[in-house]
Amino acid sequence: MRRQLRSRRAPSFPYSYRYRLDDPDEANQNYLADEEEEAEEEARVTVVPKSEEEEEEEEKGEEEEEEKEEEEGQGQPTGNAWWQKLQIMSEYLWDPERRMFLARTGQSWRVMIRPFAHSLNFNFNVSEPDTWQHYVISLNGFLQGYNDSLQEEMNVDCPPGQYFIQDGNEDEDKKACQFKRSFLKNCSGLEDPTFGYSTGQPCILLKMNRIVGFRPELGDPVKVSCKVQRGDENDIRSISYYPESASFDLRYYPYYGKLTHVNYTSPLVAMHFTDVVKNQAVPVQCQLKGKGVINDVINDRFVGRVIFTLNIET
Amino acid sequence: MHQKTPEIYSVELSGTKDIVKTDKGDGKEKYRGLKNNCLELKKKNHKEEFQKELHLDDHKLSNRELEEKYGTDIIMGLSSTRAAELLARDGPNSLTPPKQTPEIVKFLKQMVGGFSILLWVGAFLCWIAYGIQYSSDKSASLNNVYLGCVLGLVVILTGIFAYYQEAKSTNIMSSFNKMIPQQALVIRDSEKKTIPSEQLVVGDIVEVKGGDQIPADIRVLSSQGCRVDNSSLTGESEPQPRSSEFTHENPLETKNICFYSTTCLEASTSPVGTVTGMVINTGDRTIIGHIASLASGVGNEKTPIAIEIEHFVHIVAGVAVSIGILFFIIAVSLKYQVLDSIIFLIGIIVANVPEGLLATVTVTLSLTAKRMAKKNCLVKNLEAVETLGSTSIICSDKTGTLTQNRMTVAHLWFDNQIFVADTSEDHSNQVFDQSSRTWASLSKIITLCNRAEFKPGQENVPIMKKAVIGDASETALLKFSEVILGDVMEIRKRNRKVAEIPFNSTNKFQLSIHETDDPHGKRFLMVMKGAPERILEKCSTIMINGEEHPLDKSTAKTFHTAYMELGGLGERVLGFCHLYLPADEFPETYSFDIDAMNFPTSNLCFVGLLSMIDPPRSTVPDAVTKCRSAGIKVIMVTGDHPITAKAIAKSVGIISANSETVEDIAHRLNIAVEQVNKRDAKAAVVTGMELKDMSSEQLDEILANYQEIVFARTSPQQKLIIVEGCQRQDAVVAVTGDGVNDSPALKKADIGIAMGIAGSDAAKNAADMVLLDDNFASIVTGVEEGRLIFDNLKKTIAYTLTKNIAELCPFLIYIIVGLPLPIGTITILFIDLGTDIIPSIALAYEKAESDIMNRKPRHKNKDRLVNQPLAVYSYLHIGLMQALGAFLVYFTVYAQEGFLPRTLINLRVEWEKDYVNDLEDSYGQEWTRYQREYLEWTGYTAFFVGILVQQIADLIIRKTRRNSIFQQGLFRNKVIWVGITSQIIIGLILSYGLGSVTALSFTMLRAQYWFVAVPHAILIWAYDEVRKLFIRLYPGSWWDKNMYY
């Protein structure tokens, strides 16, 4: 996948190419050579420190693996065992399979919401359209790319529940799966052009930050669930999710990068807060739940979750 | 001077022990300088006291008048009540320490000196910035507070370090205090009491025994065989006799005054020599008190290296402030918020200030100081380490520094011939002809007519080191004969002494009569020694080759020629004669009566002459030559007589063999001194008297025009004037000395060097450096080390300055181009105070590139530590290359993470918005704020690693300034490799060990990023090799002038 991305990059990104040519320094050739050597590596590596527990778990896993491999290697000459250890070591440093550096994975769900709200505080007064009009405009603007007509024209309808893998030439344009605005039902803005803001039932869209090459774990798709972060559980009362599965389907993965995957449309989950307590600030935490999803990182509060407050006045 | 010379000559000729008396000619002037100076110094505070000192006439007064004047009684002493009154009036008999700067002030000074003030500004700006942030947003991040604290901590730590180093150097006054004898024997209420000498008051009657220090300035009332060692006060090596007679108008010359802190020598007679005297001055009003205040009144000169560092600090601070303000203005005009602009300003200051450098310099200097201490140069003031290297004039005291401070037999004259004796420290090699029978007789006289004895219990001590009871010349003769003849005491036992007339200044001879061990006849042998002309008067025959010959005019003439010759060498000459008393007239039972003189003292047989000198140390001539070839002028400044001074100067090479003084030329051409063209003379001997009449212009002229100069008969004040004169020539002046009289000059000098063994405590404390083995040659080592450290400091500074550009550029580019910040302020501090410290110290271990002892000393105003080529080359050549290399790593990391360089431009604003949590990169990926921050830290780490890798290359290229690294040897300086290793290890620890501590903003950098800057590092090395190659190929060219630092 990495290979695909890189050979793509050169022709379609003349400036990056020029940058290299312009720099007369030999160091740059070295830099290129470096890249060549890293054939198996990813273009995109984010290193995210995890909580200690997880790290320990992973380390344990490593140890177990090591033990296994050592058992297997017992019959072989010692030189071979050394080689194996070296491999384990280098795998610990950089594991291309799992894309882990020093046993830390760089892959995790990061989510963001729409519309934009300063400091993620949704303050508005239902009876004063001025206070929520900008949310509506923001959402409308954001959803322009999701219009059904556009989606049907540009993108393909691919089978759900599985990765939409497109092998073949790296610099070939990739097709994208449809995600239609109508999937969002009541939050699509089609029936209710104010996305519920005029009735004090705001829609908030959850989208995942795009990561090139990221594939969620197979199995049940990742689900979104929101609840009150602190305070009375019943302040929210009821939430409708659209699509009703409240999940990100596997068919939208992997992402091949904006150079080839031009029309890629990020999947969304709309959260419709239909009966939130009014006239008080309600802190809401929406978490992703599913296999292998991290959602409790302290430093980065957008990993697998998003926290915002709703303060709807009437 | 010419006219004076014969008189001084006669001083020397007149023989053994009466120098003071015949010294009238110049003695009066000898201390005038000192007095004048005291006047100047004391003018404000101690006017009355000084008047008293000026009119000191106690030596002229009779005992009765003294009793009256001081209200005391010579027999009864003072009453305790009166003593207490006086004590209350005059204060204790101790030297008041000079006003000291309180420790806290010294400490605070360190806190605001150098770069500290800049860093404080940075710290306060940080706190102000936080204050502003906090007032607008309560949840403002504490980063700025931390940064401010870190900056403050850096200043305080370096300040404490510097303060600690400074505190180690001791204060001059402590030494003067130490000299005070603890107890004094005083008569009070007609009882002998032992009291602490601090409680002595004027009018007290004290008794001082041989071996004690004189507790105050005292007027001698009665004395028994007392001699005082005034060498530390006047530079005279000979002990001075003290008696109650008034012998000289000048209180400093007269015999009846003993001075505070001088030592009363142990006399050879028993009972031990004692002095009873009346205290006439105490504490600060004593002569030594005046010298002490003279010494402490001399401000400590700033050392050349301190000046250089100050200069360097000014350059760097200038650059930092001007760039900081320039970019503050740019930032504001680019519509950045003022708050942001302030933060940029802090970054620029921190990047520009080499925080670790001053500490590094201190460590470097103390390493050299340690190295020198191993070679017996104890450095008290660290900065003095370098001063010796830039020294261009050494003013050396004679006695004890150039010479051994021990009278030694230098020449013998018998059988009409002058023989040379070995004067080296161990006398091992006596080569003169000992077969002559005259020598046999002479040696007998030397052995027998001598009252000096070895102290018992020194069987295993080498002869030359044995302690002796007796005066200097007798000691010299005793040791001389012991070395040549063996057990002197045994010989004396075999030739029992039956009568003796000890030396006194009226007789000017010493006589003793012995039984002999001659088996042929039991005759008495009378032996006599003394002033040669007096001895000759008493002789009618002279012994030549063991035969007695009548003393006719021609033999008398040869005697005079020899006498003049030896005297002209500045040596003290003694004549020796003997007479075998006829057995019939003086039978074995004859009773000699020394008062009646019932034996002949004329018509004796003259045997020979011996001359003695305080010989130069054997290592000195070589050291002087080395100093010469290192372009250092060696000047002798002594309190001793010009003839002696000149002789020693000639023998150690301060006046070289073929150079002449004006007087020499006049003498050779037989013309008057005035007719000699002064330009012909290379050498000059200037006495204190002449110096006194000179204007400072005339002194400058002498110092500038003569290569070889000897100053004789100088007072402490004049030594100061000479040092100042040298300093007016823009010279860096080193002064060596051992006596109290040298201490003002030692203090005034750019570097004062005291002798560790012979030196007085006052000298040691006024000095910046102490030669533990008293070896003048150690100075040469010091010069070498000093020059090396200067060169190496240049390298250290060049190394340190280089990275400043690489640290500064990120901020400039951040402001102008709007990239995410490439390196954080904390990260910069980790380079400056972490990875770079050990390597920059390692450069201090670098060996010299060429023979540094063959070049001229640096000119203190021209050869700067940090000059333009150094700054330009470090900042604009290597520094910029390094910045490029580091940016390369930075861009590589960002590109591999998804942000191509073009995307980064002007990304700053979006990048730093906390609420943007899906910022798109070049590949359409989206980044939360925290991810970006983490990437930013990775960028810091990458930039840090980029600088680190290139600093390794920088370290290697700084090993030499001119030679190729391969000439110098890549592995000769092992410490460099320790430095490189430490650099890498610290880097690894920071990145991988502390990578998870978010406050430090380091992250675990992937291994391959460490190698991105390696080609750049190699390029730097290659570039510098080319620079050095062209410097070597085209010396003197434009390239050499602009690229050699």
Give the total number of structural domains in chain B.
Answer: 5
Task: Name the residue with higher pLDDT: B384 or A86.
Answer: B384
Nearest partner of B893 among B936, B832, B863, judged by Cα: B936
Yes or no, beta carbons of B931 and A19 under 8 Å apart: no
Output the pLDDT for position A60: 41
- Residue B868 inside a domain? The answer is yes
Instruction: Please write the tens of the pLDDT for every residue from A147-165.
Output: 999 999 889 988 888 888 8
Rg (CA), chain A: 23
CB pairs under 8 A between A and B: 122
The whole domain housing B198 covers: 63-83+180-297
| DSSP H stretches of helix in chain A | 2-12, 14-22, 26-37, 52-72, 78-93, 129-143, 148-154
Yes or no, beta carbons of B1006 and A101 under 8 Å apart: yes
A chain contacts of residue B926, beta-carbon cutoff 8 Å:
110, 112, 209-211
Nearest partner of A211 among B931, B484, B347, judged by Cα: B931
Token reading at B694: 């000179």
- Please report how the helices B143-168 and B103-112 are oriented relative to each other, as an axis angle in degrees rounded to 10: 130
- Residue B15 inside a domain? The answer is no
| Contacts of residue B971, Cβ cutoff 8 Å, sequence gap at least 6 | B977
**In terms of domains, do B293 and B313 share one?**
no
Output the pLDDT for position A275: 87
Q: Sign of the C-alpha dihedral, residues B454, B456, B461, B466?
A: negative
Domain harbouring B558, CATH code: 3.40.1110.10
| DSSP H stretches of helix in B91-190 | 103-112, 116-136, 143-168, 172-178
Q: Are A127 and A73 in contact (CB under 8 A)?
A: no
* A294 interface with B at CB cutoff 8 Å: no
Yes or no, beta carbons of B996 and A49 under 8 Å apart: yes
Q: For A45, which residue in chain B has the nearest alpha carbon?
A: B897
Strand ranges in B849-978 using DSSP code E only, listed in sequence order: 919-920, 926-927
3-state secondary structure of B98: coil
Question: How far apart (Å, rounded) are the C-alpha atoms in residues A51 and A40?
Answer: 27
- Residue A196 inside a domain? The answer is yes
Yes or no, beta carbons of A300 and B928 under 8 Å apart: yes
Instruction: Please write the tens of the pLDDT for every residue from B428-472.
Output: 677 777 788 888 888 889 888 888 888 887 778 888 788 887 777
Domain harbouring B68, CATH code: 2.70.150.10
Instruction: Please write the tens of the pLDDT for every residue from B118-165.
Output: 888 888 988 888 888 888 877 777 778 888 898 888 888 888 877 876
Q: Which residue has the tokens 């003018």?
A: B43
H-helix or E-strand containing B66?
A: helix B63-70
Output the pLDDT for position B798: 94
Residue A75 C-alpha, separation from nearest chain B C-alpha, in angstroms: 33
**In terms of domains, do B483 and B447 share one?**
yes
Yes or no, beta carbons of A257 and B938 under 8 Å apart: no
Output the pLDDT for position B407: 84
* A94 interface with B at CB cutoff 8 Å: yes
Enumerate residues 176 to 215 of chain A having a beta carbon within 8 A of any beta carbon in chain B: 207, 209-212
**In terms of domains, do B765 and B791 share one?**
no
Question: How far apart (Å, rounded) are the C-alpha atoms in residues B168 and B166?
Answer: 5
B chain contacts of residue A25, beta-carbon cutoff 8 Å:
884, 888, 1015-1016, 1019
Instruction: Please write the tens of the pLDDT for every residue from B832-846.
Output: 888 999 999 999 999
Q: Which of B397, B422, B750, B774 is catalytic?
A: B397
- Residue A54 inside a domain? The answer is no
Q: Is the ipTM of this complex over 0.85?
A: no
Output the pLDDT for position B600: 84
Yes or no, beta carbons of B1008 and A212 under 8 Å apart: no
Q: Which residue has the tokens 């000198």?
A: B613
**In terms of domains, do B849 and B993 share one?**
yes
**In terms of domains, do B120 and B206 share one?**
no
Task: Name the residue with higher pLDDT: B14 or B303.
Answer: B303
Q: Are B153 and B182 in contact (CB under 8 A)?
A: no
B chain contacts of residue A119, beta-carbon cutoff 8 Å:
915
Nearest partner of B145 among B164, B169, B129, judged by Cα: B129
- Residue A60 inside a domain? The answer is no
Enumerate residues 243 to 272 of chain A having a beta carbon within 8 A of any beta carbon in chain B: 255, 257-259, 261, 264
Q: Are B766 and B752 in contact (CB under 8 A)?
A: yes
Token reading at B792: 């190496």
| Contacts of residue B875, Cβ cutoff 8 Å, sequence gap at least 6 | B319, B801, B802, B804, B805
CA count, 13 A, side-chain hemisphere, B535? 31
**In terms of domains, do B188 and B253 share one?**
yes
Domain end (from B580, B597, B613): B613
**In terms of domains, do B190 and B212 share one?**
yes
A chain contacts of residue B902, beta-carbon cutoff 8 Å:
15-16, 19
Tell me, what amino acid is at B305? I
pLDDT band at residue B892 using 50, 70 and 90 as cut-offs: very high
H-helix or E-strand containing B548?
A: strand B547-550
Q: Which residues pair with B711 in a beta bridge?
A: B637, B686
Nearest partner of B885 among B797, B822, B955, judged by Cα: B822
Question: How far apart (Å, rounded) are the C-alpha atoms in residues B448 and B437?
Answer: 17
Question: How far apart (Å, rounded) are the C-alpha atoms in residues B724 and B715?
Answer: 14
pLDDT band at residue B13 using 50, 70 and 90 as cut-offs: very low
Output the pLDDT for position B16: 33
Question: How far apart (Å, rounded) are the C-alpha atoms in residues A124 and A279?
Answer: 10
Yes or no, beta carbons of A26 and B895 under 8 Å apart: no
Tell me, what amino acid is at B738? D
pLDDT band at residue A8 using 50, 70 and 90 as cut-offs: very low
Task: Name the residue among B885, B998, B1004 with its Cβ closest to that of A47.
Answer: B1004
Output the pLDDT for position A40: 37
* A46 interface with B at CB cutoff 8 Å: yes
Question: How far apart (Å, rounded) are the C-alpha atoms in residues B789 and B384?
Answer: 11
Q: Which residues of A147-170 are buried (b: 16+ CB within 10 A; e: fewer)?
A: eeebbeeebeebeeeeebebeeeb
Q: Sign of the C-alpha dihedral, residues B789, B790, B795, B801?
A: positive
* A103 interface with B at CB cutoff 8 Å: no
Question: How far apart (Å, rounded) are the C-alpha atoms in residues B1010 and B1002?
Answer: 14
Nearest 5°: the CA angle B131, B137, B139 is 95
Q: Are B573 and B473 in contact (CB under 8 A)?
A: no
The whole domain housing A136 covers: 111-312
Q: For B914, which residue in chain A has the nearest alpha carbon?
A: A119
Output the pLDDT for position B806: 93
pLDDT band at residue B644 using 50, 70 and 90 as cut-offs: confident
**In terms of domains, do B397 and B442 share one?**
no
* A27 interface with B at CB cutoff 8 Å: yes
B chain contacts of residue A301, beta-carbon cutoff 8 Å:
930
Nearest partner of B834 among B150, B348, B312, B318, judged by Cα: B150
Task: Name the residue with higher pLDDT: B8 or B816.
Answer: B816
Question: In terms of residues, how long is chain A?
Answer: 314
- Residue B44 inside a domain? The answer is no
CA distances from B546 to B35, B435, B441, B442, B608 (A): 55, 10, 8, 10, 11
What 8-state DSSP symbol labels residue B850? S
Question: How far apart (Å, rounded) are the C-alpha atoms in residues B770 and B764?
Answer: 6
Domain end (from B118, B140, B171): B171
**In terms of domains, do B166 and B218 share one?**
no
**In terms of domains, do B594 and B625 share one?**
no
Output the pLDDT for position A172: 83
Instruction: Please write the tens of the pLDDT for every residue from B707-720.
Output: 899 998 888 788 88
CA count, 13 A, side-chain hemisphere, B157? 12
Cis peptide upstream of residue B616 (ω within 30 degrees of 0): no
Q: Are B717 and B733 in contact (CB under 8 A)?
A: no
| Contacts of residue A167, Cβ cutoff 8 Å, sequence gap at least 6 | none
Instruction: Please write the tens of the pLDDT for every residue from B19-60.
Output: 333 333 333 333 444 444 443 443 334 333 333 344 577 788
- Residue B952 inside a domain? The answer is yes
Give the total number of structural domains in chain A.
Answer: 1
Q: For B896, which residue in chain A has the nearest alpha carbon?
A: A43
Q: Strands B683-687 and B708-712: what pairing? A: parallel
Q: For A214, which residue in chain B has the nearest alpha carbon?
A: B925
- Residue A67 inside a domain? The answer is no
DSSP states along B744-769: HHHHHSSEEEEESSS--HHHHHH-SE
Q: Which residue has the tokens 């380079």?
A: B831
Statement: residue A17 has pLDDT above 70: no
Statement: residue B739 has pLDDT above 80: no
B chain contacts of residue A47, beta-carbon cutoff 8 Å:
934, 938, 1003-1004
Distance of CA B960 to the CA centre of its chain: 30
- Residue A212 inside a domain? The answer is yes
Instruction: Please write the tens of the pLDDT for every residue from B745-793.
Output: 888 888 889 888 777 777 877 888 888 888 888 888 889 999 999 999 9
**In terms of domains, do B996 and B894 share one?**
yes
Q: Are B824 and B940 in contact (CB under 8 A)?
A: yes
- Is residue B397 among the annotated active site residues? yes
Yes or no, beta carbons of B888 and A31 under 8 Å apart: yes
H-helix or E-strand containing B240?
A: strand B240-242
What 8-state DSSP symbol labels residue B916? -
- Residue A9 inside a domain? The answer is no
* A28 interface with B at CB cutoff 8 Å: yes
B478-495 mean pLDDT: 85
Q: For A15, which residue in chain B has the nearest alpha carbon?
A: B902
- Percentages helix, strand, coil for chain B (3-state, rounded to 5) are 50, 15, 35
Token reading at B1028: 């050095």
pLDDT band at residue A271 using 50, 70 and 90 as cut-offs: very high
Output the pLDDT for position B51: 33
Output the pLDDT for position A94: 54
Residue A34, Cβ density class (10 Å: 0-12 exposed, 13-18 middle, ≥19 buried)? middle
B chain contacts of residue A23, beta-carbon cutoff 8 Å:
888
Yes or no, beta carbons of B1015 and A25 under 8 Å apart: yes
A chain contacts of residue B996, beta-carbon cutoff 8 Å:
49
Statement: residue A29 has pLDDT above 50: no
Token reading at A89: 């070591």
Task: Name the residue with higher pLDDT: B787 or B473.
Answer: B787
Task: Name the residue among B888, B901, B915 with its Cβ closest to that of A119.
Answer: B915
Token reading at B398: 């004679």
Yes or no, beta carbons of A301 and B892 under 8 Å apart: no
B chain contacts of residue A299, beta-carbon cutoff 8 Å:
930, 998
Q: For A118, which residue in chain B has the nearest alpha carbon?
A: B915
Question: How far apart (Å, rounded) are the C-alpha atoms in residues B893 and A197?
Answer: 43
Chain B interface with A: residues with Cβ < 8 Å: 884-885, 888, 892, 895-898, 900-902, 915, 917-918, 920, 922-931, 934-935, 938, 996, 998, 1003-1004, 1006-1008, 1011-1016, 1019
- Residue B737 inside a domain? The answer is yes
**In terms of domains, do B456 and B470 share one?**
yes
Domain harbouring A289, CATH code: 2.60.40.1660
Q: Strands B547-550 and B539-544: what pairing? A: antiparallel
Statement: residue B802 has pLDDT above 70: yes
Q: Which residues pair with B512 in a beta bridge?
A: B500, B527
Q: Which of B141, B918, B1000, B1023 to mutate to test the interface with A (most CBs of A within 10 A)?
A: B918
- Residue B780 inside a domain? The answer is no
- Residue B525 inside a domain? The answer is yes
Q: What are phi and psi of B172, to 5 degrees?
A: -65, -40
| Contacts of residue B320, Cβ cutoff 8 Å, sequence gap at least 6 | B118, B348, B349, B352, B353
- Residue B23 inside a domain? The answer is no
